[in-house]
Amino acid sequence: MTVAKEMFVYEFSEGSSASKELLGGKGAGLAEMSSLGLPVPPGFTITTEACRAYMGSGELPDAVVEQIEEYLAKLEASSGKKLGDPGDPLLVSVRSGAAVSMPGMMDTVLNLGLREEAVESFARRTGDARFAYDSYRRFIQMFGDVVLRVEHEKFEAALEALKRERGVADDTQLTAEDLKGLISTYKQTVADESGVAFPEDPREQLRLAIRAVFDSWNNPRAASYRREFGLPDDLGTAVTVQAMVFGNMGDTSATGVVFTRDPSTGEQGLFGEFLLNAQGEDVVAGIRTPRPISEMQEVLPRAFGELLETMHRLENEYRDMQDIEFTVERDKLYMLQTRSGKRTAVAGLKIAREMADEGIISREEAVMRIEPRQLNQVLHPYIDPGAELEVLAEGLPASPGAATGKVVFTASEAEERGGAGESVILVRKETTPDDVHGMVCAKGTLTALGGMTSHAAVVARGLGIPAVTGCKALEIDAAAQEFSIDGRTFGADDSITIEGSTGRVVEGEAPLVDPEMSEDFEQVLAWADEFRTLGVRANADTPQDAERARHLGAEGIGLCRTEHMFMEDGRLEIVREMILSDSEAATSAALARLAPLQRGDFEGIFKEMDGLPVTVRLLDPPLHEFLPDSIELRERLAGLEDGDSEEALEIRRQLRVVESLEEANPMLGLRGCRLGIVRPGLYRMQARAIAEAAKAVRARGCAPVVEIMVPLVGFRTELAEIRGEIEAMVQEVLEPEVQIRIGTMIELPRACTVADKIAWEADFFSFGTNDLTQTTCGLSRDDAEGAFLAHYLEQGFLTKNPFESIDVDGVGQLVSMACERGREANPHLKLGICGEHGGDPESIRFFHETGLDYVSCSPYRVPVARLAAAQTALEERGSRIEA
């Protein structure tokens, strides 16, 4: 095919060579089916390029208008009918179809070509006057709504009024005469509402409909869908114009939807539904209940046989499970759409694995087929997909898994009742560190405020319990112990179900399905491990976390925080003693009491991770996080009867220390390695405890691989000093042949600019991208998420939350700079990342491209990371082959 001029329109039969980007998913599918010789009603597709040209200028370019005319003429010729012909009119559908499926987001016009002059003959030819007038009525309604922007409700109101007048309940009970009258009313409605008469020229109708469908790319619904799924705004949609076929021409006609495999389970077989004597809309409208596809064999055996064969051909052709729409018009099967079907994670894994086993697709393709984030579904309990649900609201899917329980409004109550074994869901406006003791005992957490990286979200993910955050519809009256959603009120004895993988909040106790690490899952992940080059570790602070992480495929611990150990029962008192001590001796005594406890923590983790690396981060948070706050102390002081008692004096002393440690901006204050320098005993104690733990587990036959990580280094001198201290401690404890690697978190912009110098002192860098995002963007996560980040995202100042997916332009550039400079100065430098971004597929792509050695994420995100890492490696391989 030689292309003399730019092609804006493709006939289905021409289109199989053109791309999905150009024709949209629907257009490409129709072209493909057409080229396979399958029964597709004829038609043509106007490209996304035409759409982009239209969006740019606001007008359909002349070339586009000309080509539409040309292809319409071809369509008329091949069908032997003419658009709007009073004798035997060609009717067409005008449908949107973007490269990426956006189901239901854009507009469609059906039955275009019917008009006053043609409807009678159409009735005659179809032998069904009611059907003909109903089709015309539907066309006017759709065209009025989509093209002329007359409110849908106006038409519905007229229809309802007519039904009331005729005393009937159902549309189908209206006669052809009734519908004729309704058509007049509709046309008057259009004239009244739009100020113009209903256009009667079918060619003009077609042009207007095509423009309207192009316009629908930018309707608010579609725009918000794209924002939600991170799709670009400038792709545009294709438009397919296709001869209408009718599944509602009596009992030899039908319409239906089939899947080539079960989209819920992935099982092979035949799954779908059909309706006899119906149009596709009727299935959607839910007025009639569709029948299982297997029953079609009885009523339409010829078409059914043809359908089965077609399904088989399509699955083999597309090498994926297909979601197929068809219509049978007077016993003749027509294929209207085929596309790769949406499926649950379980089904996706089974289909991918089986197709690979069957040799239909390669293992690489099997791995590429799974959406990493979807894995969350199979790693956590989820709501039974078959259950009937009353979804009350949707919030953000903040921590995966589903849970049911009684509503509680305070952390204390959650602790009390949850601790006693009751299933409770903690419902809060937002959570703070004071709520953690309650979150631990609840089955899940639901908050009205906060984003995907709010306190509630981060803590819940850390704990591995479900959470839904930012549920805006939720209005909480904690004092009254109730909340309301859309005017419905729920109290302390009501049960709800939350699903943190999807963000759904459901009334009552929805049936949950327990996750199973199926063979399919294990197999696909095992393949992923073969392909990926990026290591995957987990962030874990306890032996339990470490065990879970290892089970989920983590190749080490990339971040073992020691502060949580300090917070544990019985330890906080010693930590406070250490901080509040007024003498060197008292500090040392407190540290000496902490040392064996710390050693015990590390032993458990090292044992669990036998043979795999464990990166222990020395204490990071500001010391005041371990102390009671000054308000609490003041209140205690005010409550004392004797203001000069020993207790009062002690509280005053504590108050002085607490106040001296208070900071205007603790994020930028005395924390991380600064603590290690100002209070050197602390890191020495931790280093010794780590070395002693390593020694102890070695004695028990394990092979600990220990890395010590110094947080918040900004200056080479800081790391040099602390490294020296750690080395001294390690040498005192361990035999010389046992090595402990010493490295640093890179979490300050300055550390990135001087990464070469810092690399002289470091065996590894681990990027703390949470803090690096905060400092690089000047954004305090806690402050921003509640205040203006949501506004920024809604208004498009940001396209994505930089705490969820790495900010490539800003933070990413600094990470790249640090990697380059660090490796140049120290070619043996290991590079990893241990921020929240370590489990985000898009961020993983960036880390892979930047040449990091590994990512580290929370245990439950390890499989996601393994898969995402494999996919990015495969993509790279693919693009290398292409290039």
Least distance from its own copies to the Cβ atom of residue 476, Å = 16
Residue 436 binding its own copies, by CB under 8 A: no
Is 757 a binding residue for its own copies by CB under 8 A? The answer is yes
- 478 interacts with its own copies by CB under 8 A: no
Q: Is residue 435 part of the contact set for its own copies (CB under 8 A)?
A: no
Nearer CB in complex with its own copies: 543/669: 669
Task: Please identify, among the stretches 167-175, 363-371, 478-486, 773-781, the one whose residues bind its own copies according to the rule CB under 8 A.
Answer: 773-781
CB of 732 to its own copies, least distance (A): 23
Rounded distance between C-alpha atoms, residue 280 and residue 788, angstroms: 44
Q: Report, in Å, the least distance between residue 468 CB and its own copies.
A: 23
Cβ distance to its own copies smaller for residue 33 or 833: 833
> In terms of CB distance, is 436 or 668 closer to its own copies?
668
Which residue, 77 or 678, has its beta carbon nearer to its own copies?
678
Binding window for its own copies (CB under 8 A); candidates: 136-144, 404-412, 725-733, 796-804 = 796-804
The kind and range of the H/E element at 522 are helix 519-531
669 belongs to the binding site for its own copies (CB under 8 A): yes
CA distances from 250 to 275, 304, 688, 710, 813 (A): 11, 17, 85, 76, 64
CB of residue 812 vs its own copies: minimum separation in angstroms?
8
Nearest to 635 by CA among 663, 619, 658: 658
Which of 222, 784, 868, 873: binder of its own copies (CB under 8 A)?
784
Q: Does 848 bind its own copies (CB under 8 A)?
A: no
Q: Give the pair of three-digit tokens for residue 572.
A: 């906080």
> Which one among 36, 513, 677, 825 touches its own copies, defined by CB under 8 A?
677
Site size with its own copies, rule: CB under 8 A: 49
808 exposure class (CB count in 10 Å sphere: 0-12, 13-18, 19+): middle
Q: How far is the CB of 634 from its own copies (least distance, A)?
A: 10
Helical segments of 294-435, H only: 296-299, 301-318, 345-357, 363-369, 375-379, 411-413, 419
Give the nearest distance from C-beta 158 to its own copies in angstroms: 39
Residue 674 binds to its own copies (criterion: CB under 8 A) = yes
Does 430 help bind its own copies (rule: CB under 8 A)? no
Q: Is 792 in the site for its own copies (CB under 8 A)?
A: yes
Strands 830-833 and 764-767: parallel
Asked whether 273 and 283 are in contact (CB, 8 A), the reply is yes
Outline where DSSP puts E strands in 20-171: 43-46, 82-83, 89-90, 92-97, 108-112
Q: Cα separation of 70 and 57, whole Å?
A: 22
Q: Which is nearer to its own copies, 201 or 635 (CB)?
A: 635
364 touching its own copies, by CB under 8 A = no
Both tokens of residue 381? 């309990």
- Binds its own copies by CB under 8 A, chosen from 279, 322, 338, 776: 776
- The single-letter DSSP state of residue 615 is E
Q: Select from 21, 313, 749, 800 the one that contacts its own copies (CB under 8 A).
A: 749
In DSSP notation, 702-767 reads ---EEEEEE-S--SHHHHHHHHHHHHHHHHHHS-TT---EEEEEE-SHHHHHTHHHHHTT-SEEEE
Residues 869 and 882: their CA atoms lie apart, in Å, by 20
Q: How far is the CB of 669 from its own copies (least distance, A)?
A: 4
Tracing tokens 């997916």 back to the chain, one arrives at 805
In angstroms, the CA 839 to CA 538 distance is: 9
d(CA 420, CA 518): 33
In the set 508, 728, 797, 877, which binds its own copies (CB under 8 A)? 797
> Distance of CA 153 to CAs 141, 144, 158, 170, 284, Å?
10, 11, 9, 17, 18
Query: Considering the complex, what minimum distance in angstroms separates the CB of residue 148 from its own copies?
Result: 33
Among 455, 624, 837, 848, the one annotated catalytic: 455
DSSP strand pairing (467-469 vs 396-399):
antiparallel
Examine the residue annotation and report whether 752 is marked as an active-site residue of this protein.
no
With CB under 8 A as the contact rule, the residue among 712, 726, 762, 868 that binds its own copies is 712
- Of 788, 824, 877, 878, the one binding its own copies (CB under 8 A) is 788
Residues 805-824 that bind its own copies (CB under 8 A): 807, 809-811, 813-814
Using CB under 8 A as the binding rule, whether residue 746 contacts its own copies is answered as no
- Stretch near its own copies under the rule CB under 8 A, chosen from 61-69, 108-116, 354-362, 715-723: 715-723
**420, 664, 881, 883: residue in contact with its own copies (rule CB under 8 A):** 664
The one catalytic residue in 51, 471, 560, 834 is 834
395, 401, 501, 515, 559 from 382: Cα distances, Å:
16, 6, 8, 7, 28
Does residue 455 carry a catalytic annotation?
A: yes
According to DSSP, residue 347 is labeled H
Question: Residue 474 is encoded by which pair of tokens?
Answer: 């939720």
Which two structure tokens, joined as six digits, stand for 833?
A: 């990342």
In angstroms, the first-to-last Cα distance of the chain is 26
Active-site annotation, residues = 455, 834
For binding to its own copies (CB under 8 A), which residues are involved?
Answer: 663-670, 674, 677-678, 712, 714-715, 717-718, 721, 747-750, 753-754, 757, 771, 774-780, 782-784, 787-788, 791-792, 795-798, 807, 809-811, 813-814
